[in-house]
Amino acid sequence: MPSIDITDDQRDRIAALREELTDAHADRYTSVTLPDTVAYLLDLADAVDDPDRRAAVDTNRSEADDDDGGFPRERLEARLRERNRRHSDANPDDPMDLYSIAAEYDVSGRSSMTKGELVTAILDVAERRYTAPFAPVDVELPDADHDGGSGADTDSAEGGSEADHDDDDGSPEADHDNAEDGGDESDTAAESDADDQAGDDGQLNAMLSLLETHSDKWDSADGDARYEVELPDGSVETARTKDDVRAALFKHY
Q: What average pLDDT score do residues 93-116 get? A: 86
| Average pLDDT of the residues of the chain | 71
Domain identity same for 64 and 127? yes
Domain identity same for 171 and 51? no
Count of structural domains within the chain = 3
| CA 104 – CA 209 distance, rounded (Å) | 9
Tens digit of each residue's pLDDT (9 = 90 or more) over 187-227 = 555 566 656 655 566 666 666 677 778 888 888 887 777 88
Q: With respect to residue 202, please indicate whether it lies within any of the assigned structural domains.
A: yes
| CA 16 – CA 10 distance, rounded (Å) | 10
Domain identity same for 118 and 158? no
Per the model's pLDDT, the better-predicted residue between 9 and 154 turns out to be 9
Nearest to 219 by CA among 210, 229, 211: 229
Q: What average pLDDT score do residues 222-246 get? A: 82
Looking at residue 29, its pLDDT comes to 64
Tens digit of each residue's pLDDT (9 = 90 or more) over 108-147 = 888 889 989 999 999 998 888 777 776 666 666 666 555 5
Domain identity same for 203 and 236? no
Domain identity same for 174 and 235? no
Cβ neighbour number for residue 138 with a 10 Å cutoff: 6
Q: With respect to residue 62, please indicate whether it lies within any of the assigned structural domains.
A: yes
CA 197 to centroid of chain Cα atoms: 15
Q: Which of 94, 110, 137 is the last residue of a domain?
A: 137
Tens digit of each residue's pLDDT (9 = 90 or more) over 45-57 = 765 555 555 555 4
Q: With respect to residue 89, please indicate whether it lies within any of the assigned structural domains.
A: yes
Q: With respect to residue 90, please indicate whether it lies within any of the assigned structural domains.
A: yes
Angle CA 75–78–83, to nearest 5: 135
pTM of the predicted protein model: 0.34
Tens digit of each residue's pLDDT (9 = 90 or more) over 9-30 = 888 888 888 888 887 777 666 7
Which residues are 227's β-sheet partners? 220, 239
Domain identity same for 226 and 131? no
Domain identity same for 40 and 111? yes
Looking at residue 42, its pLDDT comes to 76
Burial class (CB in 10 A: 0-12, 13-18, 19+), 242: middle
Q: Which of 98, 117, 137 is the last residue of a domain?
A: 137
| CA 225 – CA 80 distance, rounded (Å) | 31
Q: With respect to residue 3, please indicate whether it lies within any of the assigned structural domains.
A: no
Domain identity same for 46 and 81? yes
Domain identity same for 26 and 133? yes
Q: With respect to residue 69, please indicate whether it lies within any of the assigned structural domains.
A: yes
Q: With respect to residue 1, please indicate whether it lies within any of the assigned structural domains.
A: no
Domain identity same for 130 and 187? no
Domain identity same for 165 and 218? no
- Residue 65 pLDDT exceeds 50: no
- Residue 239 pLDDT exceeds 70: yes
Range of the domain at 162: 144-208
Looking at residue 53, its pLDDT comes to 53
Q: With respect to residue 13, please indicate whether it lies within any of the assigned structural domains.
A: yes
| CA 204 – CA 101 distance, rounded (Å) | 10
Domain identity same for 197 and 247? no
What DSSP character marks residue 224? S
Share of the chain above pLDDT 90, in %: 3
Q: Which of 117, 137, 157 is the last residue of a domain?
A: 137
Per DSSP, the residues of 41-103 read: HHHHHHS-S-TT------TT--THHHHTT---HHHHHHHHTTS-S--SS--TTSPPPHHHHHH
